[in-house]
Amino acid sequence: MVALPGVDPSWSTYIDVPSTSGADRPGTSHRWHYLDNGADLADSTVRGTLLCVHGNPTWSYLWRTYLAAGRAAGWRVVAVDQLDMGYSERTGVFRRLADRITDLEDFAAAVGLTGPVVTVGHDWGGVVSLGYADRNREDLAGVVLTNTAIHQDADRRIPAPLRLALAPGVHGLGTRTTSAFLDVTLALARPALAPDVRRAFRDPYRTAADRQGIAHFVSDIPADPSHPSYPALTATAEGIRSLDVPVLMMWGPHDPIFSDPYLEDLARRLPRADVHRFEHAGHLVQEDADTASTALQWLAERSVGHPEPRADVPPRDDAPYVPLGRRLTDLAAGPDAARTAVAEMKPSGPPRTLSWRELDDDVAAVAAGLTALGYGPGSRVSLLVPPGVDLTVLIYACLRIGAVIVVADAGLGARGLSRAVKGSAPDVVIGIERALVAARAFGWPGRRISAAPLSPARRRALRVEASLNDLRAARPARSAVEAPAADADAAILFTSGSTGPAKGVVYTHRQLSAMRDAVAATLGLGEGASLVAGFAPFALLGPALGATSVTPAMDVTAPRTLTAQALSDAADAIDATVVFASPTALRNVLATAGALTDAGRTALGRISLLLSAGAPIPVPLLEAVQDLVPSAALHTPYGMTESLLVADIDLTGIRRASADARDGLDGAGGGVCVGLPVHGARVAVSPLDDDGAATGEATTAPGRTGEILVDAPHVKDRYFRLWRTQRESARTPPWHRTGDVGHFDAEGRLWVEGRLGHIITAASGVLTPVALEQSLETLDGVRLAALVGVGPAGTQAVVAVLETDAAGRRPALADAPLTEAARAAALRHGVGLAAVVAVPALPVDIRHNAKIDRTRIAQWCSRFLSGARAGSL
Amino acid sequence: MTVLVTGASGMLGRAVAEHLVASGEEVRCLQRRPSSVSGAQDVLGSITDPDAVASAVQDCRAVIHLAAKVSFTGASAEFDRTNIDGTRILLDAAHAAGVTDVVHVSSPSVAHAGSSLVGAPAGRADPAHARGDYARTKAAAELLALGRSTPAFRVAAVRPHIVWGPGDTQLVERVIERARHGRLPLLDGGTALIDTTYVDNAASAIVACLRRMHAAQGRALVVTNGEPRPIAELLGGICRAGGVEPPAWSVPGALARGAGSVIERAWLRLGRTDEPPMTRFLAEQLSTAHWFDQRDTRSVLDWRPSVSVDEGLERLAAYYR
């Protein structure tokens, strides 16, 4: 073997192994090659052995990072070259799946694995390793799978690239005669492999004879039940259902072969498995992402191997659980059954309304319809329906039967939304026509139900099985539906994606109920309240709170289309006293306030509470809103998808906080004040160290800046199929680490200073962006400011990037007067600016139009300020 | 005991000598022209004259070596003679005379090959890849000097980056002169960040090094103001201080670098001794970021710059008024 990047030459080992495979004549031995870090470890401290099995057409080189990481963590790692592959013997015999599982058993017995065994597999090596795991459970302590598959649905064709590779005339030419199959596979790496790594992967497959194993592997793919390897595959696929060891699946979703449906199939066979999808990675996930350290972190977290497992953290003791839909059923059965529960404003004509009785009936009907179609506990239902009566009914129907609702909003943009839906692997997509068109265009998984009735032709074209009305009309005999367990999954809500790809956030029924209670207690909302629901997801809590809710007439996929008149019409329709609206919607309400009728003004005058969340709202905007709703307390709670409510403050409170900051109250100032922790929530910060990492013990001491931590019964359960991300966010129990940075003042109020990822580490110290940005935004002509660092961590240069009225079409250094003013403002914060850049527009998130993408700005700045071609911002 | 300063007729050398005098040291200056540093003893002579150097270093405890040929152009042999041979002659003489501490003043360009530097560490001097004769010979001299360092004969290298201030002929006067004649373009809009060193800061860092030889011995330390700025802003500041209009036109950096190479070769072929209007080195300096990580320098020297860029520009403006 040549010297290979990332491989310690001492790992490379050969062994002669007697074969017990039926493919060989009795008495045959084969020479195997494998990588083994065992010699690096003292036997007494070894936690166990990772048995790594590559697929086709790679070899043990794929696992080199596991050998290095295993050495550091006390795991022996044995990465085998399967026979006819890598540097192992070319046996001259066609080895099928059953043979390969036996081969692996022969090999493992000959090598002698130390302690508990964890099988690790990739591609077809995943199948072989699962076959081994299924049949060798005595020492089995865990299973790790990466981009593989164990089952081919009979009604689903195998992936097109494999069909091609198997096609007569293509197969031998593509896999053996030429290195096309090998080259194509290696080209799947994202980003591309370094030339020396690529050479290493190719090294054992230089001649056609070397590649015989590649060709055999491809033709051993059991595409249908008549294939000779189908029984072996099926035996394993069914056998693993009873595996009782921890399982980790790490996936690169950009895989033309082992795409998400195969992950979904495995996740259903192994429902307790931990899953992490590396959003940007592809088939060669080991090359694209740091799977080795994730796997070792997981082994430690799941207490796999020696030493023995430790005790689990005891569960929290929360308030008694009352299902989210309980108040709805109670009201429907009580004296107020005929009162309006939900209303939906129409662009013209009267609103659509349902009483509590009608709402409960409709929820029951739709729930029964869903059950009749086969959906029930654990089914994932992707809801792409705008807020309104239908969405409310669907949500409460799903919750009633234990189906998990998946909610991603159009604010993610078409690609982000598509990525989110695909990643959540829904069983069914229920959507408006536009969503179903996207479902077809992007190839979303799952069956289809349309929100509105469609013509037969349209239904066929969009593969729609039923409409919402069909579900209602089915009216099957009401079977007693068992209430879902409190700790079962209830919802997957997607983050806004303003900080990387949108993440699915899983809530259990208990946590959703806790959210309702937090909203009720913090805002004093309950039965008898009536609210304008212009802002998901708070808006969906109306029926849970027992409050009457109305959705205004607007294009909810574009919150900026809410007009002042539409808002007041909605308020008027139910005599609303509460308004939920997004900051973007409020801006448009203000912009259209001039056209408001007198009746409209009167309706808005009755509002006593207005809530707006999702992005920081500047005080001048709030003050303008106050003029429109003069009797209302204006609340701007702080939260995130993972914990919708963390802290709350109103305009009066904001003014008081600013005054306290001016008066020099300890910790007041230096960020956006978001108020006191909400009912049921504990909030603290984990102070930053000199490198800007949040490593400190949780504290609420005034003036200490750190990552904001929250602990509340309404915090998310976990991230969906992001095991590593979840582990990071929950690494200091009981806290959820928000990724935001802030501090407390002496009154216990929280001040938010920005994102952890946006911290600047200058030579003079660690710096958070928000406080100085606020000062810069008060300068003449500056609309929006971003503060970023360029250069190496610890000695970054601080740069102010200003969106100005006067900026030309292209970014440029700010003119001398603005530069001087910005520098002076920064010096008052003790910050020396390296450069001041003026730009026509700063990149902000799609959903709120307010969250600045500082990461992107910093990357652009480091090009702009180094003399490199900067491109557009 | 006396401190010898070589090259005290230059802006930085004079500042160093004055700094030492002010702090109560006996100071002797060696250079070809009178240094005009009051309170210091002047010895006239060339750094390449072993006899002159040997007598200058007599009875000295320490040497600060600044004498060098600094230019963008010239014959290679002249650079070799002054910068490499001169350093060797000085080190030999100092060692023979029982000097214990030598601060060798060098340049960040000894370690860098023209690519952009962003928060960069000092790096090892590399004559083979340095750009131009000045950087090449200074790199060789620094390796030579640090190679001689022992606990008994301590040598440290200080590399101030782009020193400027009132009376500076290398940068300030050239910038003002070119701008006055409309011959100072910005390259790529002048957005690249560069570190510079106000002369008083460079001088105080060099003197600080003499105090901190136990920590600095054998090491090379880049010294700057630690205030990277876009080059357009610095040039603009210098021009305004000098009472001329800042440059308002920009040419592509790649074009200027290419043109610099051509002009440089033409100047050599024509045997011209005046400064060419553009050289490749200058174009690189004007179009790529070069700023440094100062944390290590500041902790080793236990030193902070005392004059900010803005304050320096005000002093420059006062000088030209």
A contacts of B189 (beta carbons < 8 Å): 812-813
- The closest of B185, B205, B212 to B12, measured between CA atoms, is B205
Q: How far, in Å, CA of B264 to CA of A760, rounded?
A: 41
Q: Report the 3 state secondary structure along A653-677.
A: HHHHHHHHHHCCCCCCCCCEEEEEE
Q: How far, in Å, CA of A754 to CA of A772, rounded?
A: 11
| pLDDT value for A271 | 92
Tens of pLDDT, residue by residue over A380-396, are 999 999 889 999 999 99
Return phi, psi of residue B272, to 5°: -75, 140
* Residue range B124-142: mean pLDDT, rounded: 92
| pLDDT value for A413 | 80
Q: How far, in Å, CA of B84 to CA of B140, rounded?
A: 7
**B291 contact A CB<8A:** yes
Q: How do the domains of chain B map onto residue ranges?
A: 2-161+197-224+292-306
Return phi, psi of residue A232, to 5°: -60, -40
Q: How many CA atoms lie within 13 A of B74 on its CB side?
A: 17
Q: Give the confidence band of A318 by pLDDT, cuts at 50, 70, 90.
A: low
How far, in whole angstroms, is CA B284 from its chain's centroid? 17
A contacts of B310 (beta carbons < 8 Å): 823
Tens of pLDDT, residue by residue over A584-625, are 889 889 999 999 999 999 999 999 999 998 777 888 889 999
Residue type (1 letter), A318: D
* Residue range A196-202: mean pLDDT, rounded: 94
Interface test with B, best of A795, A798, A815, A862 (most B CBs within 10 A): A795
Q: What percent of chain A has pLDDT over 90?
A: 76
Q: Which among A791, A813, A832 has CB closest to B232?
A: A813
CA-based Rg of chain B, rounded to a whole angstrom? 19
Nearest CA-CA distance, residue B115 and chain A, Å: 10
Q: How many CB pairs under 8 A join A and B?
A: 70
Q: Are A816 and B228 inside 8 Å of each other by CB?
A: no
What residue of B is the nearest CA neighbor of A792? B119
Q: Is the peptide bond before A445 cis (omega within 30 degrees of 0)?
A: no
Nearest CA-CA distance, residue B70 and chain A, Å: 26
Nearest CA-CA distance, residue B106 and chain A, Å: 23
Q: Is residue B72 predicted with pLDDT exceeding 70?
A: no
Q: Are B289 and A865 inside 8 Å of each other by CB?
A: yes
**B163 contact A CB<8A:** no
| pLDDT value for A115 | 84
Interface test with A, best of B115, B118, B257 (most A CBs within 10 A): B118
Q: How far, in Å, CA of A487 to CA of A365, rounded?
A: 25
Q: Where are the alpha helices (DSSP H) in A258-378?
A: 260-269, 285-288, 291-301, 326-333, 356-372
B contacts of A870 (beta carbons < 8 Å): 191
A contacts of B290 (beta carbons < 8 Å): none
Q: How far, in Å, CA of A751 to CA of A708, rounded?
A: 10
Residue by residue, DSSP assigns A14-81 as EEEEE---TTS-TT-EEEEEEEE-GGGS-GGG--EEEEEE--TT--GGGGHHHHHHHHHHTEEEEEEP
Nearest CA-CA distance, residue A676 and chain B, Å: 39
Nearest CA-CA distance, residue B285 and chain A, Å: 10
- The closest of B259, B14, B222, B253 to B105, measured between CA atoms, is B222
A contacts of B187 (beta carbons < 8 Å): 867
Q: Is residue B276 predicted with pLDDT exceeding 60?
A: yes
**B173 contact A CB<8A:** no
Nearest CA-CA distance, residue A869 and chain B, Å: 9
Find all residues with CB under 8 Å of A180, minimum gap 6, and list them.
Answer: A173, A174
Q: Are A865 and B236 inside 8 Å of each other by CB?
A: no
Q: What angle separates helix A64-73 from helix A291-301, to the nearest 10 degrees?
A: 40
What residue of B is the nearest CA neighbor of A838? B191
Q: Are B119 and A797 inside 8 Å of each other by CB?
A: yes
Q: Is residue A1 predicted with pLDDT exceeding 60?
A: no
| pLDDT value for B280 | 75
Q: Which helix (H) or strand (E) element contains residue A870?
A: none
Q: Are A763 and B227 inside 8 Å of each other by CB?
A: no
What residue of A is the nearest CA neighbor of B117? A866
A contacts of B236 (beta carbons < 8 Å): 816
Residue type (1 letter), A150: I
Query: In this structure, is the dihedral angle defined by the CA atoms of residues A833, A836, A842 and A848, taken in order, positive or negative?
Result: positive
**B119 contact A CB<8A:** yes
Active-site residue, selected from the candidate residues B134, B198, B319, B320: B134
Q: What percent of chain A has pLDDT over 70?
A: 96
B contacts of A819 (beta carbons < 8 Å): 233
| pLDDT value for A806 | 78
Nearest CA-CA distance, residue B133 and chain A, Å: 24
Q: How far, in Å, CA of A646 to CA of A715, rounded?
A: 9
Q: How far, in Å, CA of B129 to CA of B138, rounded?
A: 12
**B295 contact A CB<8A:** yes
Q: How far, in Å, CA of A707 to CA of A684, rounded?
A: 8
Nearest CA-CA distance, residue B321 and chain A, Å: 21
Q: Which helix (H) or strand (E) element contains residue A765?
A: strand A765-767
Beta-ladder partners of A248? A144, A274
| pLDDT value for B250 | 80
Q: How far, in Å, CA of A187 to CA of A74, rounded?
A: 33
| pLDDT value for A314 | 58
Q: Looking at residue B83, what DSSP letter applies?
A: I
Q: What is the ipTM of this complex?
A: 0.91
Q: Are A812 and B293 inside 8 Å of each other by CB?
A: no
* End-to-end alpha carbon distance in chain B: 40
- The closest of A95, A34, A120 to A217, measured between CA atoms, is A95
Q: Which among A763, A794, A835 has CB closest to B230?
A: A835
Total Cβ atoms within 10 A of residue A278: 21
Tens of pLDDT, residue by residue over B135-187, are 999 999 999 999 999 999 999 999 999 999 998 887 888 889 888 988 888 88
Q: How far, in Å, CA of A862 to CA of B210, rounded?
A: 36
CB A715 within 8 A of CB A735: no
CA angle A78, A79, A83 (to 5 degrees): 120
Q: Are A866 and B118 inside 8 Å of each other by CB?
A: yes
- The closest of B12, B285, B313 to B132, measured between CA atoms, is B285
B contacts of A868 (beta carbons < 8 Å): 116
A contacts of B291 (beta carbons < 8 Å): 791, 797
Q: How far, in Å, CA of B57 to CA of B93, rounded?
A: 7
Query: In this structure, is the dihedral angle defined by the CA atoms of residues A292, A298, A304 and A307, taken in order, positive or negative?
Result: positive
| pLDDT value for A479 | 61
* Residue range A280-301: mean pLDDT, rounded: 95
User: Tokens representing A403?
Assistant: 């189906």
Q: How far, in Å, CA of A811 to CA of B289, rounded?
A: 18
Q: How far, in Å, CA of B214 to CA of A682, rounded?
A: 52
Return phi, psi of residue A629, to 5°: -120, 75
**Max Cα separation, chain A?**
98
**B222 contact A CB<8A:** no
Residue by residue, DSSP assigns B90-150 as HHHHHHHHT--EEEEE--GGGG--SS-EEEE------TTT-SHHHHHHHHHHHHHHHHT--
| pLDDT value for A240 | 96
How would you label A672-684 residue by residue, b for 16+ Cβ within 10 Å and e otherwise?
bbbbbbbbbbebb
CA-based Rg of chain A, rounded to a whole angstrom? 30
> Would you tell me which CATH number, out of the four given (3.30.70.20, 1.25.40.10, 3.40.50.720, 3.40.50.300), belongs to the domain B2-161+197-224+292-306?
3.40.50.720
What residue of A is the nearest CA neighbor of B191? A865
Q: How many CA atoms lie within 13 A of B193 on its CB side?
A: 30
What residue of A is the nearest CA neighbor of B227? A834
- The closest of B145, B158, B156 to B224, measured between CA atoms, is B158
Beta-ladder partners of A534? A581
Find all residues with CB under 8 Å of B222, minimum gap 6, and list them.
Answer: B108, B121, B122, B159, B160, B161, B292, B294, B297
Q: Is residue A408 predicted with pLDDT exceeding 90?
A: no
Tens of pLDDT, residue by residue over A723-743, are 999 999 999 999 999 999 999
A contacts of B253 (beta carbons < 8 Å): 867
Q: Are A795 and B293 inside 8 Å of each other by CB?
A: yes
* Residue range A820-849: mean pLDDT, rounded: 90
A contacts of B295 (beta carbons < 8 Å): 763, 794-795
Total Cβ atoms within 10 A of residue A314: 6
**Max Cα separation, chain B?**
55
Interface test with A, best of B191, B304, B310 (most A CBs within 10 A): B191
Q: Is the peptide bond before A630 cis (omega within 30 degrees of 0)?
A: no
Interface test with A, best of B112, B195, B223, B229 (most A CBs within 10 A): B229
Beta-ladder partners of A124? none
Active site residue B134: yes
Total Cβ atoms within 10 A of residue A790: 27
- The closest of A118, A117, A121, A128 to A145, measured between CA atoms, is A121
Q: How many CA atoms lie within 13 A of B300 on its CB side?
A: 25
Q: How far is CA A767 from CA A696, A762, A782, in A?
A: 16, 7, 21
| pLDDT value for A126 | 97
- The closest of A278, A274, A226 to A255, measured between CA atoms, is A278
Interface test with A, best of B112, B117, B186, B193 (most A CBs within 10 A): B193
Q: Are A791 and B229 inside 8 Å of each other by CB?
A: no
CB A818 within 8 A of CB A804: yes
Find all residues with CB under 8 Å of A431, minimum gap 6, and list them.
Answer: A382, A383, A384, A385, A439, A448, A449, A450, A451
Average of per-residue pLDDT values in chain A: 91
How would you label B14-29 residue by residue, b for 16+ Cβ within 10 Å and e otherwise?
bbbbbbbbeeebbbbb
Q: What percent of chain B has pLDDT over 90?
A: 68
